Structure 1
Amino acid sequence: MQQILVYSDSLSWGIIPNTRQRLPFDQRWPGVLEISLTLMGQHVRVIEDCLNGRRTVFEDPFKPGRNGQQGLAQRIEIHSPLALVILMLGTNDFQSMHPHTAWHAAQGISSLVTTIRQAPIEPGMPVPPVMIVAPPLVRQPQGQLAEKFAGASQKSQGLAPAFREVSQALDCLFFDAGALVTASDVDGVHLDAPQHLQLGQALAHEVNAFLVKQA
C-alpha cells in the first residue's frame, strides 16, 4: 500500500462554510481522492494532516501552532515511506492581520518543500515527491469570516501563477484548484461539498497518472 500525505488547512479539513462542522471523510476532497484512486486500481491510503488556520510559514498572533513549518519534518518522518506529499496552503496567509501577497505565500510554499526534502527519514526511504496545489482565490468574505479575511481577495491575486513558478523551479507537480473550483458563495473562503467532490476526482486523475508513471 502506498501512502499519500495531504498537508493543508481548513479547505481540506472539510469545514462546512459558515459553521464549525466538518464534512465526513468520503465527502471531503482527500477522502474523495482515496476512494477515486482505489476505484482506479491504486492500493493507497490518504493521510490527512489538515489544520484549520494553518499558514505556510507564518505565525497566527491569536492561535499558536498555525505555522506550517512547525513539525513538518517530523510529519514526513512519522508517515514515511510516502509516495507523494500534497501541499495545499496559502489561503490563511492572507488573513487581515497579515500584509502578505501571493509572492510571500509562494516563498512560504518553497520553504515547506525544502523542509520536506530535508526531513530526517530512515536510511533507504525515498524522499517523497511533492505536488503543490494552488487553492482557489478568496472571494468576498461573508458572515463569520468577513473581518478575519477582510482584504484577502486583493492580497491573494496572482496566487496560482506564483505557485506555478515555484513548482517549476523546484521540480514539483502542480495543480491549480482555482481553475476548477471557486470558494463558496456562503463564506467566500471555503469549499462546498460539490466542490470537494469535483476537486478530489480531478486530483485523482492527476495522482493516478503520476503513480502509474512511477511504477
Structure 2
Amino acid sequence: MQTQSLADPSVLAARHARLQEPHIAPLTAFAARLRESKALGGRLDLPNFDPESGGIHTEILLLLESPGPKVAQTGFASLDNPDRTAENLSCLLKLAGIGRRRCLVWNILPWQLSAGGVVTPTASQVRAATPATLELLTLLPALRVVVLVGGKAQGGWKFVWPELPRPLPTVNCPHPSPRYFATDSQAPVRALSALVEARLLARNSGG
C-alpha cells in the first residue's frame, strides 16, 4: 500500500498538475477564494484538495482539526502526506473498505496555524471557519456522511450543524495521530469501527 508518497517531488509535481481536473477544479477554485478572503484577513496559508480524492463526487467527508506541519511542505490536505497521521488514516480507510474516490480529507479549521509545528486551534478560531465549512458542503452534492476526526472537529461541528440546509449524518472518530494511538491502545479499534460505520451509513443513504 502506497503511503507518504507526496514526499517524492515528482509525485508532488504530478499532483499539482491535476488541480484543474473536472472533479477537483471547483474545490481548487474554492480554496483559492478562501486564501484571499478579506473577511478572514486574506493571505491565508491554506492547502489544496487532493485530486486523488473523490472531489465534488465525495460521499464521505473526513474533517480533521487543522493542517499539520507537513501540509505546509506539500500544499495538500491528503492521505499521501509524509506524516504518520495521514498514513494511519490511509491504512484505516483501506481496512474499513472505503476507497480513495469515495472520500475527501479536509479540516474544521482549514488554514495553517503554524508551519513549524502543531498548534491547537481555539474555539473562536474554529468558529470563524464555520462559513468556509458550510460553503464547502454546498460543493459536495453527493455527500452522505461526515466523519468528525478528533475532539476539535467534533466540538467545531456544533457551530456548523444548526446552519445546515439538510441533515447530514455524522460519525465521531478518534484522531489517528501516532501520539494518541500510542497512549490509547483501543483508539485504533474505535477509529476503524467509526469508519466502517461511515461506510455503512453512506451505503444506506444511497451512497
Q: TM-score, normalised by structure 2?
A: 0.44
Q: TM-score, normalised by structure 1?
A: 0.42
Higher helix share: 2
Which structure carries more relative contact order (alpha carbon 8 Å, separation 6+)? 1
